[in-house]
Chain A
Amino acid sequence: AQSVTQLGSHVSVSEGALVLLRCNYSSSVPPYLFWYVQYPNQGLQLLLKYTTGATLVKGINGFEAEFKKSETSFHLTKPSAHMSDAAEYFCAVTLGGGKLIFGQGTELSVKP
């Protein structure tokens, strides 16, 4: 069965600092992997996705993630945090068929 673990339910960084949000997955075969962001009282916005091909994936708002099969990880990074990055971030996986499995989410706070 697939599962997703996001390490750290809350991450706090200073403005301008590196953002690193961790995601590990459990799957018998390489899955499709996604990162979504959710701002307060809004829906989920797709940040980036990995399906096949290049393992370093670039997304919107300066975020990127690297698929590491050997570590079963798909960590999200951004070199320099901005106040507007404060939000809830969800990692998700699927093997297909429409079932997205979400992690528990990581709330990112950005201090001025």
Chain B
Amino acid sequence: DTEVTQTPKHLVMGMTNKKSLKCEQHMGHRAMYWYKQKAKKPPELMFVYSYEKLSINESVPSRFSPECPNSSLLNLHLHALQPEDSALYLCASSPPGSETQYFGPGTRLLVL
């Protein structure tokens, strides 16, 4: 298995909903990342997990809550989002000792 997978592909949620995004990789990578990407813009780093521990939080609002239950799985829990949070959410992972990040296909989120 040589890819990063993300589910769901698309998600529509209301501002009072709670939902979760899921990211999985089975390549033995020990660093995993969440990015947010708005249309026609580069990805913006949100969180970095290294060996299942949160190592970087780029001052992301608390309505976004990351979780890394094991070395293969990364979740992003969403609660009380705002319409401006609508974006493509990308997950990435890196092999041990490497700075190269491999991206998943993303989840397109629409907040109504």
Residues on A lying within 8 angstroms of B by beta carbon are 32, 34, 36, 41-46, 49, 51, 90, 94, 96-100, 102-105
Q: Given A41-B108, A43-B105, A98-B33, answer yes or no on A105-B100 (Cβ-Cβ < 8 Å).
A: no
A45 to B2 CA separation, bound complex (whole angstroms):
13
Q: Is the CB of A100 within 8 A of B106?
A: no
Q: Given A41-B108, A98-B50, A98-B56, answer yes or no on A46-B42 (Cβ-Cβ < 8 Å).
A: no
Interface residue B99 (Cβ < 8 Å from any Cβ of A): yes
With a cutoff of 8 Å between Cβ atoms, the chain B residues found around residue A99 in the complex are 45, 48, 56
Residues on B lying within 8 angstroms of A by beta carbon are 4, 6, 31, 33, 40-43, 45, 48, 50, 55-56, 90, 92, 94, 99-106, 108
5 tightest CB-CB pairs across the interface, nearest first? A102-B42, A44-B103, A43-B103, A98-B48, A43-B105
Closest to A93 in B: B99
With a cutoff of 8 Å between Cβ atoms, the chain B residues found around residue A98 in the complex are 31, 33, 45, 48, 50, 55-56, 94, 99
Q: Is the CB of B42 within 8 A of A49?
A: no
Q: Is the CB of B99 within 8 A of A43?
A: no
Q: Is the CB of A42 within 8 A of B106?
A: yes
Q: Is the CB of A49 within 8 A of B48?
A: no
Looking at the assembled complex, report how far the CB atom of A36 sits from the nearest CB atom of chain B, in whole angstroms.
Answer: 7
Closest to A42 in B: B105
Looking at the assembled complex, report how far the CB atom of A47 sits from the nearest CB atom of chain B, in whole angstroms.
Answer: 12
With a cutoff of 8 Å between Cβ atoms, the chain A residues found around residue B55 in the complex are 98
Looking at the assembled complex, report how far the CB atom of B39 sits from the nearest CB atom of chain A, in whole angstroms.
Answer: 11
A99 to B50 CA separation, bound complex (whole angstroms):
12
With a cutoff of 8 Å between Cβ atoms, the chain A residues found around residue B31 in the complex are 98
A25 to B99 CA separation, bound complex (whole angstroms):
17
Closest to A9 in B: B40
Q: Is the CB of B90 within 8 A of A44?
A: yes
Q: Given A98-B50, A99-B45, A99-B56, answer yes or no on A43-B106 (Cβ-Cβ < 8 Å).
A: yes
Q: Given A98-B55, A105-B40, answer yes or no on A45-B103 (Cβ-Cβ < 8 Å).
A: yes
Closest to B92 in A: A44
